[in-house]
Amino acid sequence: MKKTTCAACDCELGAETITVKLGGKTVEVCCRECAEALNEAEAATSAASSGKE
């Protein structure tokens, strides 16, 4: 059996996972807090890169 871990905190994923889409890729996280953290990080990265040309 393959064990998978949360994309945000590296905790082992259980039966209840949340799917988050980041930059065209789909990742799984263990909880709503990790999903929000990844979405905030992507938003900050997108804002920073769009400000630099």
Predicted pLDDT at 34: 97
Which pTM does this prediction carry? 0.79
Predicted pLDDT at 45: 87
- Ranges of each domain in the chain: 1-47
Specify the residue for token string 């905190």. 9
Give per-residue pLDDT as tens, 1-53: 567 999 999 999 999 999 999 988 999 999 999 999 999 999 998 888 876 55
- Report d(CA 8, CA 20) in Å as an integer: 11
Predicted pLDDT at 50: 78
Predicted pLDDT at 23: 84
- Report d(CA 29, CA 11) in Å as an integer: 9
